[in-house]
């Protein structure tokens, strides 16, 4: 068997193995090298898998050659390969960034642990996406969650500890809900293989245990993906975690949870149960709208830039779930696209905010939070950094020519298709809220005088180090590029949506 045939398992194993190796070498630099190499390898493998799926359809891999449904099956379809590319790609970009950033945010002797945790988190996320086994999914979920709690707790501010603890409690409840759901499904079907589970459920869809399972899974996963009003863990976790961690989590963790939700809804429970027999789409629609308006409005009044964009994340997740609630090809396309586009934009923004925080530390203000007072006038001190945040912000707004625009396009198309004109208006109105909070940053960064300028001195240009700017700008440029050339994103999302929607169940 050639190496290419083993890509699905290597996709997870390589980053997973790099974690204990990083601990064994006990050296920040070496651990960095190992984990970064693993992440880039994972990225390359994800791209390889994407092409494999394009050539020969869904790729399956039987762990230990045990055929499903007895053995654990790894299964990569269009959607999975797309999410794999996002997760591993963001990791590959964030890791080099961490090298320059972690030195200032985490104590030196803990560096190798940081990289080990990062590798575990990456392996867990990739595993969630690739596995076709329900319990395996839970295990990977916990691997990624536990390492995430540690990563968040590494933040310098003591509030990072409180945020991590809070996330641990809520995340564990969510994960336990998911196991409960899986347990009920196992009781009803006697299998753990997701596809097999879907087939066997077709007779007993309406039985009470299946409905209970659906409820537990929905709530559990929505906790992990921070659907309004289950988002309370998110703002503080994003605000106080080290910048690189925030960027990685914002771009991947919630997105993978969305993937899990899609997987369970479309592959296991089937559309007819979820979307036609239960009022779930309505509930999801209203919760999404509340997220789009409520969380975006809250973002508008935040004084801490990281928290502002954290709330914006909650709002943007609303778009993803809104697309899901349509149960149409266009709607799901919008969801899948936004999961990718928002990941890129938010990743870029948090990486660049990391650069801003660094600049704040240098100006003698101590290592502080990026409150709006402190970032006043930074547009003149760090123009390239601020310009990057602005451009990625345009993608959040959905300005044409940015990746975010395409999401809006498909969302509106989905609403038009169902004749829901008021939803068109809602989507557009909520974009205006995004304009408002992005412009809040623009006005503070460029129009408010900085402390130095108020003292009558001229602002000196002092950019963040290039090692921070280059990875961050890669993501910024990607979120612009995928607004114009969408042969990768739109075709993947459309393919994935077409395969899932209307598959007869």
Partner 1 sequence: MTPETALVVALGLPLVGALGIALAGRMPNLREAVTLLTALAVFATVSQLLEPVLAGQRPGLMLMEPVPGLPVAFRLEPLGMLFALIASGLWIVNSIYSIGYMRGNREPHQTRFYVFFALAIGAALAIAFAGNLFTLFLFYEALTLITYPLVTHAGTAKARTGGRIYLGILMGTSILFLLPAVIYVWYVAGHTDFRLGGILPDTVSPVVLTVLLALFMFGIGKAALMPFHRWLPAAMVAPTPVSALLHAVAVVKAGVFTVVKVVVYVFGADTLAGQTGWLAAIAGFTIVAASVVALSADNLKRRLAYSTVSQLSYVVLAAAILAPLSLMGAVLHIAAHAFGKITLFFAAGAIYTAAHKTEVSQLDGIGRRMPWTMAAFGIGALSMIGLPPAAGFVSKWYLVSGAMAQSHWLALVVILLSTLLNAAYFLPILWRAFFRPLSVEAQAHPHGEAPWPMVLALGLTALGTVTLFFLPDVPLALARQMVTLP
Partner 2 sequence: MSAAVASSSLLPELIQHFSHIITVFLMVSGLYIVIARGNLIKKLVGLSVFQTSVYLLYIAPGKIIGGTAPILASQYGVYSNPLPHVLILTAIVVGVATLALGLTLAVRLREAYGTIEEDEILALDQQAELEE
The residues of the shown chain that bind partner 2, judged by CB under 8 A, are: 135, 138-139, 142, 146, 149-150, 153, 158-159, 161-162, 164-165, 168-169, 172-173, 176, 179-180, 183, 186-187, 192, 303-304, 368-369, 371
Contact 246, 350 (CB under 8 A): yes
Measured between alpha carbons, how far is 208 from 389 in angstroms, rounded to an integer?
49
Nearer to partner 1, 119 or 438 (CB): 438
Within 13 A of 166's CA, how many CA atoms are on the CB side? 16
Least Å from the CB of residue 63 to partner 2: 15
Partner touching 162 among partner 1, partner 2, none, CB below 5 to 8 Å by kind: partner 2
The SS3 of residue 419 is coil
Contact 201, 185 (CB under 8 A): yes
Nearer to partner 1, 205 or 463 (CB): 463
Nearer to partner 2, 9 or 173 (CB): 173
Partner touching 424 among partner 2, partner 1, none, CB below 5 to 8 Å by kind: partner 1
When binding is defined by CB under 8 A, the residue of 122, 291, 399, 475 that contacts partner 1 is: 399
Nearer to partner 1, 79 or 434 (CB): 434
- Residue 165 lies near partner 1 (rule: CB under 8 A): no
Instruction: Please identify, among the stretches 140-148, 170-178, 211-219, 430-438, the one whose residues bind partner 1 according to the rule CB under 8 A.
Output: 430-438
Give the CA radius of gyration of the chain.
22
- Residue 406 lies near partner 1 (rule: CB under 8 A): yes
Contact 136, 390 (CB under 8 A): no
Least Å from the CB of residue 429 to partner 1: 7
Least Å from the CB of residue 192 to partner 1: 39
Measured between alpha carbons, how far is 135 from 186 in angstroms, rounded to an integer?
10
Nearer to partner 2, 43 or 184 (CB): 184
Nearer to partner 2, 164 or 243 (CB): 164
- Residue 337 lies near partner 1 (rule: CB under 8 A): no
Partner touching 135 among partner 1, partner 2, none, CB below 5 to 8 Å by kind: partner 2
Q: Is 463 exposed, middle or buried (0-12, 13-18, 19+ CB in 10 A)?
A: middle
Least Å from the CB of residue 488 to partner 1: 11
Nearer to partner 2, 36 or 304 (CB): 304
Contact 324, 248 (CB under 8 A): no
- Residue 496 lies near partner 1 (rule: CB under 8 A): no
Nearer to partner 1, 5 or 425 (CB): 425
Q: How many residues does the chain have?
A: 505
When binding is defined by CB under 8 A, the residue of 107, 204, 429, 470 that contacts partner 1 is: 429
> Quick one: which of 317, 491, 298 has its CA closest to 396?
317
End-to-end CA distance of the chain: 35
Which own/partner contact pairs does 203-206 have at CB distance under 8 Å and 24+ positions apart?
205/269, 205/270, 205/272, 205/273, 205/277, 206/273, 206/277
Q: Is 202 exposed, middle or buried (0-12, 13-18, 19+ CB in 10 A)?
A: exposed
When binding is defined by CB under 8 A, the residue of 186, 293, 409, 488 that contacts partner 1 is: 409
- Residue 186 lies near partner 1 (rule: CB under 8 A): no
Give CA 123 to chain center in angstroms.
14
117 to 33, 46, 248: CA distances (angstroms): 14, 21, 12
Which residues form the interface with partner 1 (CB under 8 A)?
Answer: 394, 398-401, 406, 408-409, 412-413, 416-417, 424-425, 428-429, 431-432, 435, 439, 443, 446-447, 483-486, 490
């Amino acid at each position: 068997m050639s190496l290419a045939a083993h890509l699905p398992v290597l996709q997870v194993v390589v980053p997973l193995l790099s974690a204990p190796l990083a601990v064994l070498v006990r050296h920040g630099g070496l651990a960095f090298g190992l984990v970064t190499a693993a992440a880039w390898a994972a990225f390359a493998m994800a791209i390889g898998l994407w092409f494999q799926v394009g050539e020969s359809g869904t790729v399956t891999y039987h762990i230990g050659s045990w055929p499903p449904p007895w053995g654990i099956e790894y299964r990569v379809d269009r959607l999975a390969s797309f999410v794999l590319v996002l997760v591993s790609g963001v990791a590959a970009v964030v890791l080099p960034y961490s090298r320059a950033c972690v030195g200032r945010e985490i104590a030196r002797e803990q560096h190798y642990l940081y990289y080990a945790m990062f590798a575990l988190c990456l392996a867990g996320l990739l595993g969630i996406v690739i596995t076709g086994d329900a319990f395996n999914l839970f295990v990977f979920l916990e691997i990624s969650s536990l390492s995430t709690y540690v990563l968040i707790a590494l933040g310098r501010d003591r509030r990072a500890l409180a945020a991590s603890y809070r996330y641990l409690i809520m995340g564990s409840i969510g994960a336990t809900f998911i196991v409960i759901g899986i347990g009920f499904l196992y009781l009803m079907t006697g299998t753990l293989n997701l596809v097999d589970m879907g087939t066997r459920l077709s007779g007993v869809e309406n039985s009470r245990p299946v409905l209970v399972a659906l409820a537990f899974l929905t709530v559990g996963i929505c906790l992990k993906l921070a659907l309004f009003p289950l988002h309370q863990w998110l703002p503080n976790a994003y605000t106080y975690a080290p910048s690189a961690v925030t960027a990685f989590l914002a771009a991947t963790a919630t997105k993978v949870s969305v993937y899990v939700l899609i997987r369970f809804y479309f592959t296991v429970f089937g559309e007819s149960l979820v979307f036609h027999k239960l009022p779930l789409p309505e509930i999801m629609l209203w919760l999404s709208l509340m997220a789009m308006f409520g969380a975006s409005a809250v973002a508008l009044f935040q004084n801490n830039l990281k928290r502002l964009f954290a709330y914006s994340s909650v709002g943007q997740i609303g778009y993803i779930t809104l697309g899901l609630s349509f149960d149409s090809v266009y709607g799901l396309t919008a969801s899948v696209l936004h999961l990718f586009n928002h990941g890129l934009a938010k990743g870029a923004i948090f990486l660049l905010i990391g650069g801003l925080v660094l600049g704040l530390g240098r100006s003698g203000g101590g290592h502080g939070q990026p409150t709006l007072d402190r970032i006043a006038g930074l547009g003149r001190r760090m123009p390239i950094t601020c310009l990057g945040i602005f451009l990625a912000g345009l993608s959040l707004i959905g300005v044409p020519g940015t990746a975010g625009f395409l999401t809006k396009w498909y969302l509106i198309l989905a609403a038009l298709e169902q004749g829901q004109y008021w939803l068109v208006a809602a989507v557009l109105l909520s974009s205006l809220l995004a304009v408002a909070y992005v412009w809040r940053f623009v006005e503070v960064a460029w129009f408010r005088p900085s402390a130095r300028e108020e003292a009558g001195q001229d602002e000196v240009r002092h950019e963040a180090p290039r090692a921070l700017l280059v990875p961050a700008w890669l993501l910024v440029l990607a979120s612009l590029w995928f607004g114009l050339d969408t042969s990768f994103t739109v075709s993947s999302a459309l393919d994935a949506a077409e395969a899932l929607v209307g598959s007869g169940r």
